[in-house]
A and B are shown apart, each in its own frame.
Chain A
Amino acid sequence: MANQALARLENALRERKLDRTLTTALPSWEPRDHSAAIATDMAALDACLRGGLPRGQLSEIVGPASSGRTTLVLQTIAASTRRGEIAALVDTFDRLDVASAATAGIDLEGLLWVRGSSISSGSASGGPDAAMNRALKAVNLVLQAGGFGCVVLDLADVPPVALRRIPFTTWLRVQRVIEGSDTACVLVAPHPLARSAGGLTLLLAGRVRWTGEADRSRHLTGADIGIRIVSPRRRVEGDVSVAAITNDSHYNEPRRHGGHGAV
């Protein structure tokens, strides 16, 4: 009997149907209303995500440097605060640029910013592992307090070696804390870490846009962010491209701060 079951299992694996069997056994994710997901206020992405990132689930935004992770995260937080929710950003290495956050439209009063130690100062006590552990504890405290619409854990700068040392049960614990709540937890990392069954994984690949042929007139105008959506439930998959533009006061035109301009 056991041998027959084992044979069936091996057959299913051989035919690559096991994965499909398991995922279709999960209840389908069909948000009935907008309150089941946290919209990013980017029409193309929200349409592809069927409303946005799911609440009560752990989602991931992953990609290499300059792929648009921070842009997308700030945009999601801004959309959350615009709806009157409060949000939290656990910034493991203190990398948030407040001007960028304000430009993205975040109501800074509604954003709890938990700043880790800056490793660039060499003051990170205990190195990246200690900073990461503190960030994980902080995100746990924030999630347990409840009441936040969106909680972001930024692990984008943590070395891969340190990321590999995070026990997988950490993400299961985070998932258990937010299950059934209105909080959407978002993890920012260089590669997928949590792979939550109910959450989404957004794989980003971005390319900046330049304008101007001549050296003197060239400037950064924005970026094209390609987003590949991966969901274990196979219902919300697809590719979408989002165009980001630069903030005028920072990138375009002669820079006015300080008052000198291009030289």
Chain B
Amino acid sequence: MFADIYAAHDSSFETLLSVARDFSPRIETCGPCEVVLDLAGLTRLFGDAKTIADELRRTAADRGLRVRIAIAGTRTAARLLVRDRAGITIVEPGDEAAAVAVLPLALLARMSNVNVPNVSNDPNDLLTTLRCWGLRTFGDLAALPADELAARLGQTGVAWQRLARGEDPVPLVPSVPEERFEQALDLEWPIEGLEPLSFVLARLMEPLSAHLERRDRGAAVLHVRLHLVKRDGVTREVHERSLQLPAPMRDARTLRTLALLDLESHPPSAAIDRVVVAVDPTPGRVVQFSLLTRPLPSPEQVSTLMARLTALMGEGRCGSAITVDSWEPGAFEMKPFLGSIANSGRIPNPESRTPRLAIRRFRFPIPARVRVDLGIPVRVTSDRRGISGGKVETYAGPWRTSGGWWAEDTKKYWERDEWDVTLSDGSTYRVFRERDTDAWFIEGVVD
């Protein structure tokens, strides 16, 4: 059975919700002043339907609400009756159709915009049509043959007839209160350093992970808030870090490791006396594994690896490279490595391929001393260890390139003559001369 509580329009919705939640965890909100409760199992706690209705009304009155209450076997019947009748209305299960049969059809227009799937027609147009047919009450509509109604009005007509019979179009969808996935711990004595903090984080992450698992949620963003106390014991500040996770995850060890690795890179400046860990929840990840594709590392493993590598190598030093739409020599961008590949599982193509000659690029070109004869480089040397230099045996060039002159940032401008040179030691380099400074540089080694 279901109870519908309909409050006056000036009532507080929060108060109405609290009244409903005091009686049942399965409630559905139907607008700013209406709540439907599932009464299953409440008779053993409170008694029969009349007692429950009286108790509901008394509780609402205690909190300053004036409410109408209807109890029926279906939510639709309860919602229709509560709109038509003041006070308490109780309909025994099975009598819903008879109870609503006397209600005016105009009530349907107010009801049809909720919980009726696939209804797109304007209810007022439909109501006018029904009135033209001479129908006035729910009973008149309920008595019509369903197939004839469907032939004339389509699915909307059938949906209206089900409402007129007091039937529920969809099951009750309980409203879940917004949950906060947060854990906090006040420390008796402030702690310093990450090692003791790791134990605190482990203690906080485990219940948080269990909470996420119960709700089938994963963490999208992990927030770690450390309340710091300075040595004077008075000054306080908050050290806050937020980690954007590449995939929803809830493994306590992974979350703790990620938080610790991030704090290693961004350590707190003072002792910690309160630790708060919170996550932004997101629906859990559903993974269908396959026997036919290669097993790739899970997002948890990739995240942990990336965090460890970032702590070791530095921010922005690990990831996937992207080519950029630019002719600027050596231009590229970095993006996070996700551990997945677009063609994963593709049948490999066994055809042999001709390798393409690669260059080992110096990220910052090496200044070089180049002796030039008749405009042609004849000797290349450098102070850089590992580049022996020598006489130019073979060369090709110059190829003049320029770009970035349209940019406001003058650092992006380049204009240079490029040469490929093979030196007497057998190594082949790409060198270039900057035309505006007449300086020579080694760009890379052909390897």
Residues of A within 8 A of B (CB): 41-44, 46, 64-72, 74-75, 78-79, 81-86, 94-105, 107-118, 120-121, 134, 137-138, 141-142, 145-149, 156-157, 159, 206-208, 210, 212, 215, 218-220, 222-223, 225, 242-247, 250-251, 254-263
* The one of B313, B321, B332, B340 that contacts A111, using a Cβ cutoff of 8 Å: B321
Contact A251 B420 (CB under 8 A): yes
Q: List 23 A-B contacts (CB under 8 A).
A: A43-B352, A71-B357, A74-B358, A84-B343, A95-B363, A100-B356, A105-B356, A108-B322, A113-B334, A115-B317, A117-B314, A141-B308, A145-B301, A156-B447, A157-B360, A208-B428, A219-B420, A222-B357, A244-B357, A246-B357, A250-B359, A251-B357, A258-B414
Contact in complex: A97, B420 (CB < 8 Å)? no
Q: Across the interface, do A258 and B400 meet the contact criterion of CB distance under 8 Å? A: yes
Determine if B411 is an interface residue (Cβ-Cβ < 8 Å): no
Is B320 part of the contact surface with A, judged by Cβ < 8 Å?
yes
User: Please, how many angstroms separate the alpha-carbon atoms of A32 and B330 in the complex?
Assistant: 42
Q: Are B356 and A244 in contact (CB under 8 A)?
A: yes
Minimum C-beta distance from A242 to chain B (A): 6
Interface centre among B312, B321, B414 (most CB of A within 10 A): B321
A97 touches B418 (CB 8 A): no
Interface residues of B (CB under 8 A from A): 293-297, 301-302, 304-305, 308-309, 312-314, 317-323, 327-330, 332, 334, 337-346, 348-366, 376, 384-386, 394-403, 414-415, 417-418, 420, 422, 426-428, 444-447
From A71, A82, A94, contact of B343 by CB (8 A): A82
Docked-complex contact A41 and B352, CB < 8 angstroms: yes
Contacting residue for B386 out of A103, A116, A157, CB 8 A? A157
B395 CB contacts on chain A under 8 angstroms: 215, 218
- A240: shortest Cβ distance to chain B, in Å? 13
Output the least CB separation between B206 and chain A (Å).
23
Decide if B348 touches A255 in the complex (CB within 8 Å).
no
**CB of A58, distance to nearest CB on chain B (Å):** 20
Chain A residues whose C-beta falls within 8 Å of the C-beta of B444 in the assembled complex: 95, 97
Instruction: Report the Cα distance A81→B341, complex, angstroms.
Output: 8
Q: Is the interface of A mostly helix, strand, loop or mixed?
A: mixed
B297 touches A147 (CB 8 A): yes
Which residues of B sit under 8 angstroms from A263, Cβ to Cβ? 398-400, 417
Instruction: Decide: B385 and A218 in contact? CB cutoff 8 A.
Output: no
A200 CA to B397 CA, complexed, in Å: 39
How far apart sit A114 and B426, CA to CA, in the bound complex (Å)?
Answer: 29
Q: Are the CB atoms of A97 and B343 closer together than 8 Å?
A: no
A219 and B358 in contact, given A146-B297, A147-B295 (Cβ under 8 angstroms): no
Closest beta carbon of chain A to B382's beta carbon, Å: 10
Cα-based distance from A83 to B344 in the complex (angstroms) = 7
B341–A110 contact, CB under 8 A? yes
Q: Is the CB of B321 within 8 A of A98?
A: yes
Which of A78, A101, A114, A146 is within 8 Å of B313, CB to CB?
A: A114
List, in ascending order, chain B residues with CB within 8 A of A112's CB: 318-320, 337, 339
User: What 17 new A-B contacts, CB under 8 Å, besides A75-B353, A97-B361?
Assistant: A42-B353, A42-B355, A46-B352, A74-B356, A75-B355, A75-B356, A85-B341, A86-B339, A101-B321, A103-B356, A113-B321, A114-B317, A138-B312, A141-B305, A244-B354, A255-B418, A258-B327
- Distance, CA A69 to CA B354, complexed state (A): 15
Could you say which residues of chain B place their CB within 8 Å of the CB of A256?
A: 327
Residue of B399, B403, B417 with highest tally of chain A CB at under 10 A: B399
> Bound state CA distance, A134 and B310, in angstroms?
11
Bound Cα distance from A206 to B332, whole angstroms: 28
Closest CB in chain B relative to A78 CB, distance in Å: 8
Known: A69-B447, A84-B345, A109-B320. A96 touches B398 (CB 8 A): no
Is B293 a contact partner of A147 (Cβ separation < 8 A)? no
Min C-beta distance of B437 to chain A, whole Å: 17
Query: Contact between A134 and B358 (Cβ–Cβ < 8 Å)?
Result: no
Q: Which residues of A contact B302 (CB under 8 A)?
A: 145
- Please list the 5 inter-chain residue pairs (A to B) with the smallest Cβ-Cβ separation, ordered nearest first: A257-B327, A258-B401, A147-B297, A110-B341, A43-B352
**Knowing A107-B341, A121-B363 touch, does A258 contact B352 (C-beta < 8 A)?**
no
Partner of A245, one of B308, B357, B385, B420: B357
- Cβ of B320: which chain A residues have Cβ within 8 Å of it? 108-113
Question: Which of A115, A245, A262 meets B398, CB within 8 Å?
Answer: A262
Q: Is the CB of A120 within 8 A of B384?
A: yes
Q: Is the CB of A223 within 8 A of B446?
A: yes
A66 close to B426 (CB less than 8 A):
yes
CA distance A138 to B305 in the complex (A): 9
